[in-house]
Amino acid sequence: MSLYVMKFGGSSVGDTERMKRVAKRIADKQDEGHRCVVVVSAMGDTTDDLIDTAKQLNGQPPAREMDMLMTTGEQISVALLSIALHGIGRNAVSYTGWQAGFRTDETHGRARINEIDPRRVLASLEREQIVIVAGFQGMTVDGEITTLGRGGSDTTAVALAAAIQADVCEIYTDVDGIYSTDPRIVKTARKLKEISYDEMLELANLGAAVLHPRAVEYAKRHQVKLVVRSSFNHNEGTVVKEETSMEQGIVVSGIAFDKNVARVSILGVPDVPGVLAQVFGKLAEEGVNVDIIVQSGVQNEQADFSFTVSLDELDRAKEVIKEIHKTLPYREVTSEDNLVKVSIVGAGMVSHPGVAAQMFDVLSQEGVSIKMVSTSEIKVSCVIESGNLPSIIQALHTTYNLDTTEQAFVGGPKDRR
């Protein structure tokens, strides 16, 4: 008997009818002769509603109390799904994250998994039960409830699959696989049969919302076979694995975009050793993640440099830079927030020169100025003004021969985690 971990996002269990459909899907998997562990997110907009309610009471609610509040959404989902399975004659049991053995660090709102003790899950499987586990949550050694942050349910599923040595971890969502770009923008996006961990990790880090980077990292580290498929149909999904066979003629596998981008520029900084270490060391201390960094030429022993952060960290980044002014003189700080990062990703780029030049040419034809560029062996990212993003993505998609004649499948609203 194969052991499957099946993860269903919020849109898949958004109401009672969808919950029944998910229960039937799990029952069908069991009827095929498989043992099933299921990870579930909160129903539909439950998490957003809880956050809105909290902010009506306190504009800056304490992180610990928010974790106490937000974990209730998943607890509702696992209980209801277990009830639905019992309703169709299946023996199921629901567990919170901590009951399933998830132990995390103490960072409320974005905790990291330290270890998993899956004995309770394995014991339930021995009793031939379907095990339903709440995603997105865990507990510290001191008994504090924590949440894993954005994408936490994906991470829960992959980490649990590694811990119980599952044969497959299936991520069910509103699309029936991983596409060459967002099928909501490009209706003829190409569905990929398979993709490497490295390519998927780049796409996830660059804005593709179908999988969270932490989940992909965990899958790569523990060699978990990952399959992304739709909860709305039975189409074959996309396999994420170590090595993939290159489709002939496909150099770029995917195009991602991230609208959560802001640029900070520090002008007139003394050109002396240690300046960048001082600036970015302080940003790191304050928990501000920096992406692209570009330094311009030196003039009159002063330099200018820019870096990007997520839009929701822009104010904090500017506060940190303001504090640094006490010890590091600079002329001026500026920022921009009407930006988007567009990226192309593909393992085939390593052996094909001119791929980046094609991207720059497309952006030029679209009348877009490139503000920053970042490259690696398998990706090129450009920070540009937001402008007409759908037209830009479509033009890039066509240029890299990714268009198909088939209509992409999108089954419902995008899962939030």
| Binding-site positions | 7-10, 47, 74, 173-174, 179, 184
What is d(CA 227, CA 154) in angstroms, rounded to the nearest whole number?
A: 12
> What is the DSSP secondary-structure string of 81-145?
HHHHHHHTT--EEEE-TTTTTEEE-S-TTS--EEEE-THHHHHHHHTTPEEEEESSEEE-TTS-E
Q: Which residues are annotated as a binding site for substrate?
A: 47, 74
Average pLDDT over residues 319-334: 90
* CATH pick for 3-173 out of 3.40.1160.10, 3.20.80.10, 3.30.70.20, 3.40.190.10: 3.40.1160.10
Phi, psi at residue 54, to the nearest 5°?
-60, -40
pLDDT above 60: residue 248:
no
pLDDT of the residue at 275 = 87
Q: Binding site membership for ATP: which residues? A: 7-10, 173-174, 179, 184
pLDDT in tens, 301-320: 888 999 999 998 999 999 99
Question: Is the pLDDT confidence value at 347 over 70?
Answer: yes
Which amino acid is it at 389? Answer: L
Q: CA dihedral in degrees (107, 71, 26, 244; nearest 10)?
A: -30
pLDDT over threshold 60, residue 67? yes
Average the pLDDT over 71-93 and give the result. 97
| Cβ density class 378-404: b for 16+ within 10 Å, e for less | bbbbbbbeebebeebbbbbbebbebbb
Distance separating alpha carbons of residues 308 and 327, to the nearest angstrom: 22
pLDDT score of 272 more than 60:
yes
Cβ–Cβ < 8 Å for 40, 74: yes
Residue type, 181: T
The pLDDT score that the predictor gives to residue 416 is 41
pTM: 0.85
- Domain locations in the chain as residue ranges: 3-173
Question: 122 pLDDT exceeds 90?
Answer: yes
Strand pairing category for 145-147 and 137-139: antiparallel
Mean pLDDT on 35-53 = 94
Secondary structure (3-state) at 256 = strand
**Per-chain mean pLDDT for the chain:** 91
Q: Is 374 a residue whose pLDDT tops 80?
A: yes
Q: Does the structure show a pLDDT above 70 at 220?
A: yes
